[in-house]
A = this chain, B = another copy of it.
Amino acid sequence: MSAVDFAQFVERLADAASAAILPFFRSAIHAHDKSHGGAFDPVTEADRGAEVAMRGMIRDHFPAHGVVGEEFGTTNPEAEYVWVLDPIDGTKSFISGFPTWGVLIGLQHRGRPVYGMMRQPFTRESFVGDGAAAHWRGLDPSGAPVARPLHSRACADLGQATLMTTSPLLIPEAKRDAYARVERAVRLPRFGGDCYAYAALAGGFVDVVVEAGLKPYDIVALIPVIEGAGGIVTTWDGGDAAGGGDVLASGDPRTHEQAMALLARG
């Protein structure tokens, strides 16, 4: 069974997650602080409801599959197929009323991300990829459904690049110098975005994304989208990004090399 056979199922997972989440977007809801006095890390009813819905569908349809989820942990991680779910990537954007969060649904086959989707339920967009190709689906100005291929853009020189990171405040002290070398090298550094930054990179609007301390569920779903669009995503030192950690994504391998050199120096 190839990864492409899962496309319709992923669509249904995203629909179920969207239905669970949207009623809570821009409603007055109580944001639990699961870090208990640490960094602000809101978890909403929406987040939990969406993951419960997706896990139930996976259990019903593919009982042998494993699941890694942001809210409810890991089930059967040694399975041939493992779903990697982040129902609301960008919870801080979500609670701030911004439409730049997303539902992340990734599928790993023997540990390799083979299919992924970022769904933005409010803007009704999906960014989808299987590592070989990627596409965007959304609405045209009249509200009619439309789809377009995603292609990352060429950028030979980091000095011409648009860089994104969700927030420099999320990069640990010890790594800020490395990050800052890249920030100083680019033409336009921009903050914000979470998963939307990687989606914009796949779309050819952003050249480099640098982040630190990601969990696997923050990035697994995005890897087949970025790679399918012609981009590259690794850890800062060029390793496999599927385990999370310090992640560098680029639309062009040349800027990727240049950014990796700056992140490694010193």
Chain A residues engaging chain B, CB cutoff 8 angstroms: 18-19, 22, 26, 28, 40, 92-93, 95-100, 121-123, 141, 143, 153, 162, 164, 167, 169, 187-193, 196, 199-200, 203-206
Contact = CB atoms under 8 A, between A and B. Distances in A.
Contact of A190 (B28, B96, B121, B190): B96
A96 B207 CA distance: 9
A164 B190 CA distance: 14
Given A40-B188, A187-B40, A192-B191, A97 B167 contact: no
Given A122-B123, A192-B193, A96 B26 contact: no
Contacts of A203: 26, 97
Nearest to A203: B97
A193 B98 contact: yes
A95 B191 contact: no
Nearest to A167: B191
Given A96-B200, A99-B100, A190 B167 contact: yes
A96 B22 contact: no
B98 A200 contact: yes
Question: Among the interface residues A22, A167, A199, which one has the most CB atoms of the partner chain B within 10 A?
Answer: A167
Contacts of A96: 162, 164, 190, 200, 205-206
Contacts of A123: 99, 122-123
A141 B97 CA distance: 16
A29 to B, nearest CB: 11
A94 to B, nearest CB: 9
A40 B160 CA distance: 11
Nearest to A19: B141
22 contacts: A22-B141, A26-B203, A28-B204, A40-B187, A40-B188, A92-B188, A92-B190, A93-B190, A95-B162, A96-B164, A96-B205, A97-B204, A97-B205, A98-B200, A98-B205, A100-B192, A122-B123, A143-B143, A167-B191, A190-B192, A192-B192, A192-B193
